[in-house]
Chain A
């Protein structure tokens, strides 16, 4: 279909708006000294840490987010609307506020944190695990929304059909529900992972900014911007490449908009 001119013009403005900063970044990137910059420990360390934290966070999100999405979509809970609002809260909340809230809940003297510390000797703030917790907190809603939407749009008729064919509930889950949910789970996990990778505010508030432990790529970039602009640009380029490398192949298969054959 041919787009009307005004729509095409507005869409072009949006594309330009999105790509300008990227172009600006690429234009300022110190290409000649890039080799040296990228082999610096202060670049490699945050990169590896960011990958570790975001991947673990994405896994945690799948493990706890899938049952949550299923429950929200399929079980007639009394306080369903309140639960949904709570689950989506981190999407709207400024991450710094989220980090502060985490600190008062899970910090050494926090509501739960004091017991974690006393019983298990477990401290979350200013640890890598704390960075993972912050990332899970902000990323979970993106995954839950994607999966819950898919569960709600498909009714449970196929599950019922499978039941009448003698399949027990766990078999129905394994053979019908999960395979049909895979595209939505893929889309959700891509969004959640991307959100976790970019996480800044909650991490710096709750987990701090300790090189090698909680200093992820966004934190390192922000810090470098004050001291070493070239390094900040190199760090930004790395983030850009990692994000595109993951999102572009996923675009066709999993992200909303195109669904594999039903």
Chain B
């Protein structure tokens, strides 16, 4: 049983997409890729706005687009909810009419969504008078009101205020059997919300894996640049944060509540002896693995804080790093950025 099963080819302008992708019910998959890689076109294949030229697409185990067999299910008959990047709210309808537009949307569900997403007060307003965050919530409510089996989100948190982001995250958490495909530029968002990450480059899927796999074993330069970032879940109280394993991390900027700490691997310095000086976060770790990543080496560390450091091959030699080596890892507080969880 799968919510999306796609193995096919399509032509989007000059770009030929050749994609193999499966998403299970209840799963959230993040679709990452550089601009022009075909992420939005891939969503259009699923909605039926971009027909396949070869191959097949099944949605909830029903054939939706099989050109060789002459099967094509029209967009309005597909079990899909779509939140496009530019939202495409209907400007001549009120917020409530937008959310309830679909003939599949039950009125009780529409009212409930207006409440949950805190847009009930805007119900009679036009989309043109909504802020960006409000408009995004309206677009999401409209897509979710149809109770889709597959939810497609195109850059849903681009330029969102914190409140909108929280409301949207809360709503999406309750996913049930719904499969969610999330297009994003933001590797942090991908790592924190998705079960799996699919990397799309130049129309091809170049990597599919868990966030940890993609981070620790990047297969392309693009993936390596994304994977560049360590993300660590923690709870912040003022100028420090405590990780799930009880490690206290000193922060450069005060924060409170659940957060994700983002640490670029190049900011992790490795030493054979305990360092002094300005770095405020220092801990002992064991080298678990060494991975060449183009002109650098990624050093995967085991210890209280599982983290990846990126150093030059020369440094590996000087420090004599091999799996099992005990090292001191140091990160300056100012190198850590804090994202609300």
Contact = CB atoms under 8 A, between A and B. Distances in A.
Contacts of A169: 76
Interface stretch (A22-30, A84-92, A109-117, A157-165): A157-165
Interface in B58-105: 74-78, 80-82, 84, 88, 90-93, 101-104
A262 B91 contact: yes
B75 A164 contact: yes
Interface string A136-162: 000000000000000000000110111
Given A168-B76, A175-B101, A161 B84 contact: yes
Nearest to A260: B92
A167 interface: yes
Contact of A165 (B49, B74, B142): B142
11 contacts: A158-B90, A161-B84, A161-B88, A162-B90, A163-B49, A165-B102, A166-B76, A166-B77, A175-B93, A175-B101, A261-B126
Interface residues of B, number: 26
B76 A164 contact: yes
Interface in A165-179: 165-169, 171, 175-176, 179
A180 interface: yes
Contacts of B239: none
B49 A167 contact: no
A163 B75 contact: yes
Contacts of A165: 76, 101-102, 104, 142-143, 146
Contacts of B82: 161, 164
A186 B126 CA distance: 22
Contacts of A179: 92
B128 interface: yes
A161 B127 CA distance: 15
Nearest to A167: B76
B80 A167 contact: no
A261 B47 CA distance: 30
A160, A164, A166, A175, most chain B CB atoms within 10 A: A164
Contacts of B76: 163-169
A158, A166, A168, A176, most chain B CB atoms within 10 A: A166
B47, B92, B102, B103, most chain A CB atoms within 10 A: B92
A167 B101 contact: yes
B48 interface: yes
A66 to B, nearest CB: 17
